[in-house]
């Protein structure tokens, strides 16, 4: 079977030989809007695509004031000044601005040739191009860069705080290295847990998984063996909240291993959670550890850092109850902050 050869019409290299139909097709394929501007009467003329782009009723001509109502207020004066200044510009010019169409924002690029010497019958010519997709991509990259910068600064601040805590709670360089490494590894495990959840819930870990992973290092130290129990509601934890929770849980667990229930073979640790209105309540209960005097303990640097992190980043609070049976810590977190 012989397949007939398909002939493809190629426009002549001489633009003067192109038909009006071919030009219209090329312009339409490029998504370009044609316009002309009468520098004497301030009248604009556009093709059909232009009226659709600006969302104005079709007319033989429109005034700049008719179009300016669609321009974003923050860009309006800049666009007006730019069009006026084009008569003094020699060569090509381009200006990007926003249109407000209903509840949508469209980005438009206006391009043309400046200088009055290029006028024909007092008309300047140019194009409008819808560049909304490109602008949204650029804004997305800027937001991502800003978010990455913000997160890096937060991590550096946390690392600095952990270094100070470790330096105050240890007596040798080796002890400090071991403790600081454990703290940073805890943060790393929390970061690794942050992943997309089903149902478009965003980047998050499950609260129960996060707590279990953060406490898993204590199994290697002989302090786990089923003595740590976690029972919390099923809910997502965002990356920012996960970092803060990692700091809190590691601080509590380290103190428990040194002085509390996890320092004793018979000691147990229960972590429970519940919903209370707009807040999430998490209760850390230690039992079976060394005897605890029922007095309020002085707050060390680590405790103060934890309190600042909980109140500032989680819009919550943390309370310590040095009961006779063992330490009870009540952590309250704003539910809306938990997903951030």
Taking 80 as the threshold, does the pLDDT of residue 307 lie above it?
yes
Query: In this predicted structure, what is the pLDDT of residue 308?
Result: 81
Task: Identify the three-state secondary structure at position 157.
Answer: helix
pLDDT at site 227: 81
Q: What confidence tens digit (pLDDT) does each residue in 92-127 have? A: 778 899 999 888 889 998 888 766 665 667 777 788
Which pLDDT belongs to residue 221? 46
Q: What is the mean pLDDT of residues 292-301?
A: 58
Predicted confidence (pLDDT) at residue 216 exceeds the cutoff of 90? no
Distance CA 310, CA 58 (A): 58
In 10 A of CB 168, how many CB atoms?
Answer: 11
pLDDT over 70 for what percent of the chain?
76
pTM, to two decimals: 0.47
Average confidence (pLDDT) over 33-44: 80
Q: Domains in the chain, please, with CATH?
A: 19-130 (3.30.450.20), 136-338 (3.30.565.10)
Whether the per-residue pLDDT at 2 is higher than 50: the answer is no
CB 190, CB 170: distance < 8 Å: no
Predicted local confidence at residue 225, as pLDDT: 58
- Which tokens sit at 2? 């012989």
pLDDT of residue 185: 78
Give residue 3's pLDDT: 37
User: Which residue's entry shows tokens 């509601």?
Assistant: 233
Q: What is the mean pLDDT of the chain?
A: 77
């Amino acid at each position: 079977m012989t397949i007939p050869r398909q002939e493809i019409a190629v426009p002549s290299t001489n633009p003067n030989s192109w038909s009006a139909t071919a030009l219209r097709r090329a312009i339409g394929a490029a998504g370009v809007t044609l316009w002309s501007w009468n520098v004497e009467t301030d009248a604009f003329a556009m093709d059909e695509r232009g009226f659709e782009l600006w969302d104005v009723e079709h007319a033989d001509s429109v005034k700049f004031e008719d179009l300016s109502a669609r321009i974003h207020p923050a860009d309006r004066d800049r666009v007006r000044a730019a069009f006026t200044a084009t008569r003094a510009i020699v060569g090509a010019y381009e200006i990007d601005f926003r249109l407000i169409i209903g509840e949508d924002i469209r980005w438009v690029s206006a391009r043309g040739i400046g200088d009055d010497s290029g006028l024909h019958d007092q008309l300047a010519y140019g194009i409008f191009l819808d560049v909304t997709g490109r602008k949204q991509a650029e804004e997305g990259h800027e937001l991502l860069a800003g978010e990455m910068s913000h997160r890096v600064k937060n991590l550096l601040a946390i690392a600095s705080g952990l270094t100070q805590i470790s330096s105050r709670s240890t007596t040798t360089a080796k002890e400090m290295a071991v403790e600081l490494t454990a703290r940073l590894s805890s943060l790393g495990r929390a970061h690794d847990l942050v992943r997309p959840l089903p149902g478009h819930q965003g980047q998050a870990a499950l609260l129960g998984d996060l707590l279990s992973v953060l406490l898993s290092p204590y199994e290697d130290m002989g302090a786990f063996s089923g003595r740590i129990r976690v029972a919390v509601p099923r809910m997502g934890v965002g990356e920012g909240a996960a970092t803060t929770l990692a700091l809190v849980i590691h601080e509590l667990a380290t103190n428990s291993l040194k002085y509390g229930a996890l320092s004793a073979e018979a000691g147990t640790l229960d972590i429970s959670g519940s919903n209370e209105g707009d807040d999430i309540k998490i209760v850390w209960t230690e039992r079976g550890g060394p005897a605890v005097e029922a007095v309020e303990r002085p707050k060390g640097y680590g405790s103060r850092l934890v309190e600042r992190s909980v109140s500032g980043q989680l819009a919550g609070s943390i309370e310590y109850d040095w009961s006779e049976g063992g330490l009870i810590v009540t952590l309250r977190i704003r539910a809306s902050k938990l997903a951030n």
